[in-house]
Structure formats: C-alpha cells, structure tokens
Chain A
C-alpha cells in the first residue's frame, strides 16, 4: 500500500497507538483495575445474593455490559483527550498544513480510539475469565457490535474535542452524559424489571441497544431486537461521521 493517503492514515494510527501504549499506566491499567473491582463487588459479593437475572447467573449477565462499558469510555476518552491535546499543543497544525484530507484525519483518530477501546475490552474480557465461564453465542454479532460501538464513541469523542476549548470541556460529556447513560443502559439489570413507562424511557438510550446486542452475542439474551440495534448503530456512525467531517471541513475550533 503506497498511496499517500494510506501512508498518512497509517502514520496517524501509529502515533495514536504509540501514545496510549506509552502511557499504559494511565490508559490500559485503570480499566483493568476498575473492572476487577466490579467483578468482585457486584459479581461475586452482591451478585451471589441477587441470584439470577433473566435466567442467567448474575456474573454472566453483567460481564458483557462491563466489557461494553470499558470499550465505550476508553474509545471516547482516547480520541477526545488525544485530539484536544493536539489542539492545545498546536501540534494539530502538523496535520493541517499537510496534504491529508479531512476524512483521513477523522479515520486515523477514530481507528486510534477503536484500538484503545478494543485493547481495554480485550484485557477486561481476559480478566473476566477468572470470574466466569464466557461462552460466545454468536461471534459475528459479538465482534461487529463491539467494533461499531467503538467507532460510534470514538467519533463522538472527536466531535467533543473539536468543540472543546479547555480541558474541562472534554470531561463534561463523559461525566454528565456518558456515565449516567451507561449505568442506565442495562449493564447491571434487565430493563424488563422496570415499570412500562421506564422501560419506554430506557429504550431512548442508545447504550441500552449496544449493551443488549453485545450480551446477545455472548450469552444469547437481549431485551431489545438485535436488528434494531444494528440499524441504530449504523445510523449513529453515519450521522456522527458526517458531522465530524463537516466540522473539520469548516475548521471549527481549528482555523479562525
């Protein structure tokens, strides 16, 4: 592959992967520790009292959700912090003066975010094997949903970083929007336990679809139709990527 765009894309991805592996104590280790604590406290200690959820052992039920939560927060966090740091240090100008099309810049950063999200997801999956016996019900659904989810949140992280003008701005969305939506997205419970009205409200939360579809891929159980989740994921990918491209094209937050 000699095309200049491919070389430029590879250069961005290489830089992004090298960044999060160089600072692995800040990027790869914390989710591993956090999730082990979740497995011990929620899965083992509290889970043993809860018993089963929709007919599945509680630990089995929450592991897919916790893996998905890891992928979401790390994909988002990687791109939002990396792109904003590039803006803050002005090293984004290295890309702006170079003949790299906006779609290559976007894909480079998104793939960097996906790489970190999947790396963290893989580490958490390995750790979960100490606590439960994971069986993959449908490998295609498992892999495709986690990949699409990582793409969605990496792109969202990029948009956040484009708008951000200070470091606080890249923590607002994860703290006040992403975390509540993830916790209310069926990671720890089945939405079938909720009253009808709250079930309806929950179905407005896109993370519910991602968590349930991933859970379907692993244990074969989902609260929502799997096809609807794919439709929504693809729609989010298209919408967010179009938005990110538009912002890069107009130079929002980058060029005056």
Chain B
C-alpha cells in the first residue's frame, strides 16, 4: 500500500542558524487520521510547511502519495490540500470567489469550480455566506472557508495546522464530524492541534515532535497503554485538613474536599477506594486530573527537554 506521507531523515536549518528539524522520520498510511503534536517551536509547522511547499526543504527526502517532493513537486501539490494556521486569503474577496479562484490554480475549469465550491461551501455551512466578503466572517467561518478552499480540488491528503484554534465548542464538534466523514470517504488527514482531546478522539495514529525530533510515533491506543502513570482527583464527603496517607500511593491535598493521587499501571483504583473507605472517607466522585494524552505529551516532551539539557 502506498504511504500517504513518507519522511526520511528530514533536516531543516533556517538562515539564522536555528535547527528546526534534526533528521526526522515520519510515516503516515493512506487513509489514516494522524496527529502531529508538539509544544510551540517543536518543528510541527516547519515539517508541514516543507510538505506543503511553503518552506524550503533541507536535507532528507519527502514523499507524498508516492511522489517525491523535489522531482515530482506538481504531483505532490495535486495530492495535497493545505489548511494553514493563519488566515491566508484576500479578505476583500467574496467567499465563493476565493474557493473558485483556488480551483483555477489547480486547473479546474470554471463550471466544475463553481459546482465544487457549492458542494463544499454547503457541506461546511457557508453557502449562505457565498457572496459575503471574507473579512465579514467570524473566526470559525474563516477556518471552514480555508477547509472548503483546500478541498476544492479533492486531494488525497488534507493537512490541517491547528484547524480548531479559536473556534467555539459547537463549531469545533461540527468540524470534527465533518473531518471524520471526510476521512471515512478515504481522505488521509494529518493535523496538528493544541487540543489533545481532539487528537485523542479523532486520530488513530500520533507522532509527538519536540525540539526538532520525533520522540514518539505509534497508534493512539498503544501510546496511551504505554503510559506509566496517571493522576486522578477524588472528591470526598466531609472536610479534609491534610491529605490522607495511602499505602503505596502518593497523594496530595487539593482543597478541603479533594485530593489527588498518582496511579501506576500495576496499581488498581480498587486499592485506593479500599484504603479511603478504611479511613472512613466517603468518595463522591473520581476523575482523571488531565486528559490522558496530555499527561503523556507532558511526560515525553519534558523527558526530551531534560535529555537535551543534559
């Protein structure tokens, strides 16, 4: 099966000497829903910028849907739809004109471009706004406009850089539903996001990049299974003044009704409940302190930072 994206030993040094990528390897299967995660400045946007031809490539090879980025750049571009992080359309143009214009750049004749723009603007709930100048749209609408524009040539792979940044929850969820549908129809999707809940619920595979290096790449489930420790918050009835001592667990007092404790993979929540019950504490509720992926992300990126400093 052809890989949707194959990156081998990709390195990027900017003119000011900053090493953004230190020879990364990345592989994404066709049809995958893939997340590239990392803290700010880790190299996510540089990687996607190189794949999208918006950043000059350094050493290494990049293949998109089997096409080489250097020798078959036009085929690479035809295979790709790009939704960047920042709004990058002429805000004085009308919504449908922006989509039709982009279709023209991909060689789609006017009639086909009009039909496709109608299809995608309708799917993204923007058809009513087709004659409105783009500057009049809300932030969420602008993001959806960029998605419609990126899809007008019906690419095999869609790259989204922070697609839901600054978008309210309702629209974010409708965008997730749209992207899931699109992926089901066969489009490979690669996204970067700061909402780790988004990556955990949407993406089958995840890579975490930090400091220009891939520190983890695996199926989302495998990554989460490999997590060594989780933190939970327990709310109890009654008033606490100190954190109860729990044998084998490290616990901390959060407020007079709540404590948090760490749980390793070998330990069970039942043990915690038993010990709390033995101490006469009545558990009202329990929840993970943070999103599981978020904890893993922090673990991995902190570890990588410590290694770099050492």
Contacts and interface: CB of A to CB of B under 8 A. Distances in A.
A94 interface: yes
A8 B104 contact: yes
Nearest to A101: B74
Nearest to A14: B104
A72 to B, nearest CB: 26
Interface stretch (B48-56, B220-228, B236-244, B271-279): B48-56
Contacts of B15: 256
Contact of A256 (B14, B52, B74): B14
Contact of A255 (B56, B90, B102, B149): B56
Interface centre among B73, B91, B105 (most CB of A within 10 A): B105
B108 A94 contact: no
B89 interface: yes
Nearest to A254: B54
Nearest to A105: B105
B22 interface: no
Interface string B53-92: 1111000000000000000011101101010101111110
B84 A7 contact: no
Contact of B53 (A7, A86, A96): A96
Interface in A32-76: none
A5 B107 contact: yes
B106 A98 contact: yes
A109 to B, nearest CB: 13
B183 interface: no
B80 A7 contact: no
Contacts of A93: 54, 82, 84, 88
A100 B73 CA distance: 10
A86 B90 CA distance: 7
A99 B102 CA distance: 11
A3 B104 CA distance: 11
B77 A90 contact: no
Nearest to A7: B107
Contact of A91 (B77, B82, B90): B90
A30 interface: no
A11 B56 contact: no
Contact of A8 (B53, B54, B90, B107): B107
Interface string A88-113: 01110111111111000000000000
Contacts of A7: 104, 107-109
Given A90-B86, A256-B14, A99 B106 contact: yes
Interface in A1-39: 2-5, 7-8, 10-12, 14-15
Contacts of B87: 90
Contacts of A256: 14-15, 55-56
Contacts of B77: 97-99
B84 A99 contact: no
A89 B15 CA distance: 23
Given A15-B101, A90-B88, A94-B101, A99 B56 contact: no
B190 to A, nearest CB: 14
B211 to A, nearest CB: 19
Contact of A4 (B54, B73, B102, B107): B107
A95 B105 contact: yes
B56 A8 contact: no
Given A89-B89, A90-B87, 6 more contacts: A12-B104, A15-B101, A91-B88, A96-B54, A98-B106, A99-B105
Interface of A: 2-5, 7-8, 10-12, 14-15, 85-86, 89-91, 93-101, 251, 255-256
The 10 closest A-B pairs by CB, nearest first: A4-B107, A11-B104, A98-B105, A90-B88, A99-B74, A99-B77, A7-B107, A91-B90, A93-B88, A97-B82
